[in-house]
Amino acid sequence: MREFVVVGHEAPTTAEFSLDDLPGAGRLDVLCRCVTAAFGLSHDFRDEVRVRLVLGDEYVVRFEGAELRHLRPDERSAGSLIRGALEARDGAIGAMEATASPGVHVGTGDFESAVAAAAEMGTLVELHADGDPIVDLEPLDDVAFVLSDHRNFTDAEAAVLERAADECRSLGPEPIHADDAVTVAHNYLDTDGFEAY
Amino acid sequence: MREFVVVGHEAPTTAEFSLDDLPGAGRLDVLCRCVTAAFGLSHDFRDEVRVRLVLGDEYVVRFEGAELRHLRPDERSAGSLIRGALEARDGAIGAMEATASPGVHVGTGDFESAVAAAAEMGTLVELHADGDPIVDLEPLDDVAFVLSDHRNFTDAEAAVLERAADECRSLGPEPIHADDAVTVAHNYLDTDGFEAY
């Protein structure tokens, strides 16, 4: 299983935003592209993938590849699923999530709880420009990558990762967008560490 | 210099499309994401990049990284620049392009002319799922990648590439989206062939 935890620092926590202006909705366009990059293959989808989007440190939207339906490759499509999750968010009670659409679940939660949940699944890898090159890391079967949107991790988030992350890795010398980092992380795993396939 | 030639098989050749429905505009969303992946870095842009989009085998929109302005990371932003190019297309006369906005030029042309222009710049690499692994190819300084949108190359395009391409390479065992291929190709070059950086 591969998992991606993406924190949206200014992301909306209500469904009151327009799909015609995703950048204006707290740069939700970044998170939308991360979802697409996590699940999308050419005319296919990746089943063995989970994404957790942390919205405003209040809600966590969980996408499950094995259950997911209705995701197309354009930004608006992912935006529509996120809006659906925020419309359903009041159905989440305590630790119980609400299901907004097939494979899209929403619950109350913050960065720390999302990271803790991801760490239960496998090796937790922080993706950061200052990390060691990922190419030196043996590919892992069960891995959760944690990355930030267009902003850097806050000091509080960095402290959470300091405690929880098994690795801090970078994907290259250039500071790439979060969704491109998802794409490269997949490629690193697909090719057994940029080697055989 | 890095160049990307992307062919849009159903892409519009007039500006009569809505930015609210880029998938409905002949899957222009795919080309938009390719443009973003080609130029975008986190809070920065890649200067030494050129993109040629082949639209309906009638027009070629050329983006020059060193001149480019007004490109933001969301799909609509690239879509707006492409629409601007198509609004300016009648200003292109014969072999002379029209400039729609800084770094965005449009001219009459087809897949074959775009590939020929790209081949003048450096090594021409077809990106295709059936190619040999790119990891075995020494990184190149001047390289033009040719790739297709959501459809495969037509027989005629494949014949052009058979003659013109120096290499045919794949980026991994999974069939990834065109824009993800742009991202991975950059990473391959950024990291000196997925090695040192």
Angle A146-B2-B86 (CA atoms, 0-180°, nearest 5)?
A: 95
Q: Does A37 touch chain B (CB under 8 A)?
A: yes
The distance of B12 to chain A (nearest Cα, Å) reads 17
Least CB–CB distance from A72: residue in B20, B23, B135: B23
Using an 8 Å CB-CB cutoff, list chain B residues near A171.
187
Least CB–CB distance from B174: residue in A37, A41, A73: A41
pTM of the model: 0.97
Question: Tell me, what amino acid is at B132?
Answer: D
Q: Does A136 touch chain B (CB under 8 A)?
A: no
Q: Show which of residues 95-124 on chain A sit within 8 Å of chain B, judged by CB atoms.
A: none
pLDDT of A196 reads: 66
Q: Does A183 touch chain B (CB under 8 A)?
A: yes
CATH topology of domain A1-197: Alpha/beta knot (3.40.1280)
The distance of B71 to chain A (nearest Cα, Å) reads 13
- Compute the count of residue pairs across chains A and B with CB atoms less than 8 Å apart: 111
Choose among B52, B39, B60: nearest CA to B109: B60
Pairwise CB contact (< 8 Å): B174 & A184: no
Q: What is the pLDDT along chain B (197 residues), one digit of tens a residue?
A: 999 999 999 999 999 999 999 999 999 999 999 999 999 999 999 999 999 999 999 999 999 999 999 899 999 999 999 999 999 999 999 889 999 999 999 999 999 999 999 999 999 999 999 999 999 888 889 999 999 999 999 999 999 999 999 999 999 999 999 999 999 999 999 998 888 66
Low-confidence residues of chain A: pLDDT under 70:
196-197
Chain B interface mutation, best of A19, A36, A153, A179, highest count of B Cβ atoms under 10 Å: A179
- State how far the alpha carbon of B132 is from the alpha carbons of A3, A27, A120, A197, B126, in Å: 29, 38, 37, 10, 10
CA distance A197 to B166: 22
Pairwise CB contact (< 8 Å): A74 & B194: no
Pairwise CB contact (< 8 Å): B133 & A194: no
B63 is written with which tokens? 């983006």
CA distance A7 to A150: 9
CA distance B61 to A116: 47
CA distance B193 to A38: 23
